[in-house]
Amino acid sequence: MKTLLWPAITIVATIVLVGGHLAGIGWPAGVAKMVASTGFILTGVAAGAATHRVGRIILAGLVLSWFGDLFLIGSGDTYFQLGLVSFLSGHVAYSAAFLAHGVRPGWVGAALVPVLIIGALVLNWLLPNVPADMLGPVWAYFVVITAMLLLAIGARGAGAPLILPLGAACFYFSDISVASGKFVPGDFPHYVWGLPLYFGGQLLIARAAGEARGVV
């Protein structure tokens, strides 16, 4: 029952969060965001992530993402940069977990070209709008999330469940949504697609953490 309860709470809270943003509601949307984030951590715990090494590293990444969500409730560059560091650390934790699980180099190699093509297209669209003082952090972040996605694919080749790279891909594209909202002008609200991708991706990674034991 608990394995279904926490994802359901995250899904409902995400719907409330997106609706709150669209309606221009402030603090209730922030509360919904943290409820959704807490839900994906508890999803990982309920899936059994705390019972083995790979799962515990993924749980650390989920907790770091929780803090990233908390920081991004605030406004201004300081909160954005704190959120950036938290999510960057979360991606590093995920990458470490996938390496601890074991990866198939052939799978990483097969995914390398298409992932790099997607990345080049995204950067070509994004970088002209990024201020000079943020170019370094954006580049560093993009390298880390690309490595995380490739390692997730490699872990799938080494026996990890399919939902692991699917979750990593959702997280990757949700980060692009955040960057577009921060740097690229436009009328369409980026969070309408970015937040469901983000929380959905975290739920998939959290659920996979119970099964992705690798070498225990």
DSSP string, 62-115: HHHHHHHHHHHHS-SHHHHHHHHHHHHHHHHHHHHHHHHH---HHHHHHHHHHH
118-133 per-position pLDDT tens digit: 999 999 999 998 989 8
* Residue 210, φ and ψ in degrees, nearest 5: -70, -30
Please classify residue 171 by burial: count the beta carbons closer than 10 Å to its beta carbon, then call 0-12 exposed, 13-18 middle and 19+ buried: buried
Label residue 216 by pLDDT band (50, 70, 90): very low
Q: What region, left, alpha or beta, does residue 215 occupy, with left being phi > 0 and alpha being psi -120 to 50 degrees?
A: beta
Question: pLDDT digits over 25-65, tens only?
Answer: 777 888 999 999 999 999 999 999 999 999 999 999 999 99
CA distance 153 to 41: 22
Band of pLDDT at residue 73, cut at 50, 70 and 90:
confident
Does residue 185 or residue 49 have the better pLDDT? 49
Among 5-9, 49-53, 150-154, 186-190, the range scoring the smallest mean pLDDT is: 186-190
Q: What ranges make up the beta strands (E) of 116-202?
A: none
Say how far apart CA 29 and CA 35 lie, in whole Å.
Answer: 10
Specify the amino acid at residue 107: W
pLDDT-derived band at 107 (thresholds 50, 70, 90) equals: very high
Instruction: Report d(CA 197, CA 36) in Å as an integer.
Output: 13
